[in-house]
Structure 1
Amino acid sequence: MTAGIIMDVLDPSFPVLVRTARAILGWSQAALAERSKVSETSISRLERLDGPGRPSNMKKIVAAFEKAGVRFQSDAKGFGLLVEEPSASAIRADVRKHQLAEKGDEAAAPSTPVPQSRVRRRRVNLDF
């Protein structure tokens, strides 16, 4: 992939990272398809682990996220995402506005919708 990240096309962490990166940026599958020049059908199949993804499509998807300031990280110890500036500051500001709006400060409503989801700590065993 880019920036020295190596992931196998069958790596089960890749679809998780793609869905998470989309959620962080507030992108739909259609928006990612437009930005990465990968078909929406291919993105949907990849996220469902419906067959192996093409390495060329994976590279395009990662490049689209990197352009938006979200980097994929993967090594022997684990995998994850790094949100870089200026995306990180924009996300922090929107989350803070959302928090203030929940407390009754209507003037501080977020400029983009904050996903209504709960973060759960979950251990995932990827050993087969």
Structure 2
Amino acid sequence: MSEILDAGPFFHGTKAALRVGDLLTPGFRSNYRPEIVMNHVYFTSRLDGAGLAAEIIPGDGPPRVYEVEPTGEFEDDPNVTDKKFPGNPTRSFRSAAPLRIVAERDDWTRLTPEALETWRRRLTEMRDERAEIIN
């Protein structure tokens, strides 16, 4: 068994309406590069980080944050830790195993309309630059 990277709790931001007990699994299109089918499911131990993800990803429905528990091993998310934030200060992770929904959370900090627009503009620029995603 690998070393414990973080004891949690863990969170996942999405626009999907899910229920306690549901599983989040790999195999869906990337929120940031829809032509890529992801081999992992991503999560963080920062509640507001999951809220940010929920607000900026494309999709229908309101942003939602779920508290999740990994069902298998997980690793630091190389898309942010190795490239942008060495040492994983964002406390972002990924797993090839499902994540189980344990609760929906509503106590995360919402973005202002101005901040939301700034983040969406950054995502558009990233897509235009064809930023690499480590899958």
When the two structures are superposed, what TM-score results if normalisation uses the length of structure 2?
Answer: 0.25
Q: Which one has a larger percent helix, Structure 1 or Structure 2?
A: 1
